[in-house]
Structure 1
Amino acid sequence: MGFCTSNNKAEYEAVLFNIGLALSIQASHLDIWSDSQLVVNQVQSDDESRDVRMMRFTGKNYCAWEFQFKLFVKGKELWGHIDGSNLGPRDAKALSKWEIEDARVMTWILRLVEPHLVLNLRPYKTIAAMWNYLHMVYNQDNSARRFQLEYAMANFTQGSLSIEEYFSGFQTLWIDYSDIVFANVLATTLFVVQAVHVTNKRDQFLMKLRPNFEIARSNMMNRHPVPSLDACSSELMREE
């Protein structure tokens, strides 16, 4: 393998490599055989990541993807592998288990990134190194990210999307944008700014619906008070 590692870790690295290769060529099926029961059990347990509807990382949605992935890994009690609070132990048996857990999180990332990004992650041997690479390359400073989000929000419309798909994409953009804006607002004025954002957010959502929702949109915007964004989206889904 070109670096010091345990047998189980070496086998798991081979699994990671083949998964990454299969993803990079968009293979529809992959058979992997191993004589390590520990590795087999670990790979099979990784199917639990599929039980959660995880967002794919495209290279342009780092903030939203990072937030979701971080919560998922914390829920599995493995975040210490990423933030450095759970370093590899010296005991050989404990180290073998730690290395498998570390590679397990790496597998989750490989499954969630777009195929063209997979091979860029191949040089990294720990999840901490892989995570730091992604953060360094794709995390943007607030001013650049705010400009990017404002541009994306200005051009985001329902188009051919269903109401559910449109609402989900709209929410993702606004959550990222709000996090950046609210971070620079004084606590004494935060409530006012948040209230303005709630109104602006709802109005933009309604104004960018397809023309065939014109009657429903006009009806909702002329009510007193105007329904919340969640109420509007729920009503539109029923009508759709």
Structure 2
Amino acid sequence: MNNNKILTWITNTVSPSISMQFGRFDTAKDVWDFLSRRYVQSDCARKYKLEQDLRLLQHQKGQSLSDFHSQMTVIWDELVLMEPKWTTNAELWYNYQEEMRLVQFLMALQDDYETICATILHRSPLPTVDTTLSELLAEEIRKGLLPYPV
């Protein structure tokens, strides 16, 4: 009886073109396994797509640095969920991750920021992404690229 309830629920929550394929299965588990094999995306495929999105992301003319940084942060946050949870030295891992994000962020900026990006990359130690963003926001305002945020 529970099997039939679950089969009905699954059938009623998917599109008709998908539910038509359930006739060959006897149990809800068989249907669930079928759906899992067919539609669950592997972490590697998702990571590939996120990395691709990150590399294609470019700071657009007229776009504020804050908005652009927010777009990158959404992708970074999703990638964090796929990172290994183990590490021999958490501080080294954090520093590596922060450096990687800094490079990705700076690479995607418009050419207007090339001089300041070069200056940032030659610092030792490198600043964090947040510190860099603050400096770039000040530069954005100084150059009058966008009006000062309210």
- TM-score, L = length of structure 2: 0.60
1:162 matched to 2:64? The reply is: yes
| Residue 188 of structure 1: how far off its partner (Å) | 3.2
- Per the alignment, residue 95 of structure 2 pairs with 195
Structure 2 residue aligned with 1:144: 45
Q: Post-superposition shift, 1:190?
A: 4.8
Give the whole-Å Cα distance in 2 for the aligned partners of 1:187 and 1:214.
34
Question: Which contiguous aligned blocks of 4+ residues in structure 1 show a shift greater than 4 angstroms?
Answer: none
Distance in 1 of aligned mates of 2:90 and 2:41: 24
1:214 and 2:78 matched: no
- Using the TM superposition, give the Cα deviation of residue 152 of structure 1 relative to its aligned residue in structure 2, in angstroms: 0.5
**Structure 1 residue 189, shift from structure 2 partner:** 5.0
The Cα shift of 1:191 comes to 4.4
Contact 2:87 / 2:93 at 8 angstroms: preserved in 1? no
1:72-221 equivalences under 5 Å are: 140-160=41-61, 161-181=63-83, 184-221=84-121
Counterpart Cα distance in 2 of 1:139 and 1:190: 31
Partners of 1:203 and 1:187 lie apart in 2 by 22
Gapped regions of structure 2 (runs ≥ 5):
1-14, 16-35, 141-150
Measured on the aligned residues, the alpha-carbon RMSD in Å equals 2.3
Question: What letter is aligned with 2:126?
Answer: V
Contact 2:59 2:109 in 1 (8 A): yes
Distance 1:192 1:226, change over 3 A: closer
Q: Which residues of 2 match residues 40-51 of structure 1 at below 5 A?
A: none
For 2:75 and 2:134, locate their aligned partners in 1 and report how far apart those are by CA, in whole Å: 19
Q: How far apart, in 1, do the equivalents of 2:123 and 2:100 lie?
A: 16
Per-residue CA distance 1:19-61 (angstroms, 9 max, x = gap): xxxxxxxxxxxxxxxxxxxxxxxxxxxxxxxxxxxxxxxxxxx
What TM-score, normalized to structure 1?
A: 0.39
Gaps of 5+ in 1: 1-119, 121-135
